[in-house]
Amino acid sequence: MNYKKILLTLVLLSTILNLLAQRSNGYLATPDKDLLRIKAPLDSFNRRLPVEKVYLHTDKPYYNIGDTLWFKAYLLDGVNLTASKLSGLLYVELDDDSAQMVRRISIPIKEGLGWAQMPLVKNIFHEGGYTLRAYTNWMQNFGEDYVFSQRFYLGVPAQDARLVKSAATISRTNNKDQLNVELKLRKADKFSSAVGIKKVEVRIYDQDHYIYKEELQTGIDGSLRFSHVLKERADSRRIRLQLTSLEPTDNNKVVQVPLPINRNQNIDLQFLPEGGSLVAGLTSIVGFKALAEDGHGISVLGDIYNGRGDKVATFTTIHDGMGSFEFTPKAGEVYTARLSQPVGKSFDLPKISPNGTVMHVVNTEQGNTVKVSLKGLASLPADSAYFLIGTSRGQIYYSQKVELSRGELMINKRLFPSGIARLTFLKTKRH
């Protein structure tokens, strides 16, 4: 048997398989000096400024004054999600609703893990909303987006507690917002009996300052209704209701009730074109997100109008204030979105770019590949090199030189780790 021939055959077979694998995305993936110039700065940035990620696992979603908040901390490397070796100390703090830091502790981190607890003693903490934050010294270089943050409510344990069912709505009266509140009070006993025919003092607070006070009496079913005109500057995230019993047998029992309210004029509607911008004459998918005043998604329905007032598109939310629609803008036009549900507010769409490219990504849940379509390639100058780069966790996992005559690419999902991947279309000058 000629072992040299067998070895030569295996080498040739391995070479052919490598070439076929490199052509699996449509192009020969040979080393390119332009691609190396793109990759080198990103690799250098990751070496000089590595990213950490932190998560706290608490023992409960809410607490009472006098409880102890227990938590386990996970500190990971932002690229490979293994234990971070960069920091050995984690800072954990509790801030109240006025953004005042009430308590801060530091805990040692070993192999990416740490444990600690915070006693919620009554001489330091008060009833209300708090934010739990965690960060390392290194993470403060990258802003609040990298800081762990979790809100919870700190209550007061009480015997003979009250159960409150509340509903707060906003109506417009004399060009002012009127807060309408409906409550039902019940006892926290096995019969859940109504707290009926009781005199109470009602106070509405904006943070720590009360803006309304009135003495009322609950109905026989424990119901209570009242209204009050709000100031325009009132922050819905800080408004709360305080009920104090005026009955001598109740010993001034106090019940705190958060009042989440949403005013239509404070809706925020954000338009996010796929690929980053709207380009004249090129059809693209435009995503949007509608946020209510309390920061949560809200359902909306609306239409897109051009500068002449003609309706050119319709949009509606699908889930949690989010949705998308297909749109082909025209050069020189200015587009406006008008809400029909809820009524009363208009928003400007992003400005239209006269030229550029649009990227469309089709990522089916069952498929093993991602289809990428690039539109507008024909208008690009031929004296440059173009690349499609796929990154995840700050590292490049996919790179492909793009020919202007071919605007569709197929990418194998297995090239990327689990999580979010970002595709970027880049241009470099040829040297």
Instruction: Note the pLDDT tens digit of each residue in 214-273.
Output: 999 999 999 999 998 887 777 766 788 899 999 988 888 888 888 877 888 889 999 999
> Is residue 162's pLDDT more than 90?
no
**Residue 19, in any domain of the structure:** no
179 and 99 in a common domain: no
One domain, residues 348 and 366: no
Q: Are residues 244 and 169 in the same domain?
A: yes
**Both 278 and 194 in a single domain?**
no
**pLDDT over 50 at 4, yes or no:** no
Measured in degrees and rounded to the nearest 5, phi and psi for residue 136 equal: -105, 170
> Is-contact 91 67, C-beta < 8 A?
no
CA 348, CA 364: separation in Å to the nearest integer?
31
Question: Which of 89-98, 256-265, 333-342, 359-368 is least confident?
Answer: 256-265
Q: What CATH number should be reported for the domain holding residue 327?
A: 2.60.40.1930
pLDDT, residue 288, reads 97
32 falls in which pLDDT band (50, 70, 90)? low
The C-alpha angle with vertex 191 and arms to 186 and 193, in degrees rounded to 5, equals 30
pLDDT attached to residue 45: 67
Instruction: Output the 3-class SS for the chain.
Output: CCHHHHHHHHHHHHHHHHHHHHHHHCCCCCCCHHHHHHHHHHHHHHHHCCCEEEEEEECCCCEECCCEEEEEEEEEECCCCCECCCCCEEEEEEEECCCCEEEEEEEECECCEEEEEEECCCCCCCCEEEEEEEECCHHHHCCHHHCEEEEEEEECCCCCCEEEEEEEEEEEECCEEEEEEEEEEEECCCCCCECCCCEEEEEEEECCEEEEEEEEECCCCCEEEEEEECCCCCCHHHEEEEEEECCHHHCCCEEEEECCCCCHHHCEEEEEECCCCEECCCCEEEEEEEECCCCCECCCEEEEECCCCCEEEEEECCECCEEEEEECCCCCCCCEEEEEECEEEEEECCCEECCCCEEEEECCCCCCEEEEEEECHHHCCCCEEEEEEEEECCEEEEEEECCCCCCEEEEEHHHCCCCCCEEEEEEEECC
Task: Say yes or no: 299 and 315 in one domain.
Answer: yes
Query: Average pLDDT, stretch 130-148?
Result: 92
If one counts the domains in the chain, the total is 4
Quick check: is 23 in a domain? no
Check whether residue 171 and residue 145 sit in a common domain: no
Give pLDDT tens digits for 300-324.
999 999 999 999 999 999 999 999 9
pLDDT surpasses 70 at 11: no
User: Among 333, 353, 373, which residue terminates a domain?
Assistant: 353
Per-residue confidence band for 133, with pLDDT thresholds at 50, 70 and 90: very high
User: Does residue 320 sit within a domain?
Assistant: yes
Alpha carbon of 320 to those of 15, 258, 296, 298, 355: distances in Å? 51, 22, 8, 6, 33
**Same-domain status, 343 and 417:** no
Residues 321 and 384 in one domain: no
- Band (pLDDT 50/70/90 cuts) for residue 164 is confident
* Residues 315 and 273 both lie in one domain: yes
Share of the chain above pLDDT 90, in %: 49
- pLDDT(9) > 60: no
> C-alpha 337: how far from its chain's center?
23
Amino acid at 402: V
Look up the domain containing 366 and give its range.
Answer: 358-429
pLDDT at res. 160: 67
Domain membership of residue 254 (yes or no) is yes
User: Considering the domain boundaries, does residue 225 fall inside one?
Assistant: yes
| Highest averaged pLDDT of the listed ranges 10-19, 108-117, 248-257 | 108-117
**Cβ pair 96, 84 in contact under 8 A:** no
- Of 264, 270, 335, 262, the residue nearest 303 (C-alpha): 335
Of 394 and 116, the one with more pLDDT: 116
**Residue 403 covered by a domain:** yes
311 in a domain, yes or no?
yes
| End position of a domain, from candidates 129, 155, 181 | 155
Task: Grade residue 431 by pLDDT with cuts at 50, 70 and 90.
Answer: low
Q: How far apart are CA 199 and CA 202, in angstroms?
A: 10
pLDDT single digits (tens) 267-305: 999 999 998 899 999 999 999 999 998 788 999 999 999
Q: Are 312 and 326 in contact (CB under 8 A)?
A: no
Q: Do 345 and 363 sit in the same domain of this protein?
A: no
Which one of 353, 370, 401 terminates a domain?
353
The mean predicted confidence, pLDDT, of the chain is 85
Residue 408 in domain: yes
Q: What's the one-letter identity of residue 251?
A: N
Which pTM was predicted? 0.68
| Shared-domain flag, residues 297 and 334 | yes
pLDDT greater than 70 at residue 7: no
Q: Among 4-18, 40-54, 61-75, 416-430, whose mean pLDDT is lowest?
A: 4-18
CA distance 390 to 58: 35
105 and 118 both lie in a single domain? yes
Give percent of the chain above pLDDT 70: 89
The yes-or-no verdict on residue 340 having pLDDT over 70 is yes
Whole-number pLDDT of residue 58: 96
From 204-208, 229-233, 277-281, 358-362, the region with the lowest mean pLDDT: 229-233
| Mean local confidence (pLDDT), 416-428 | 89
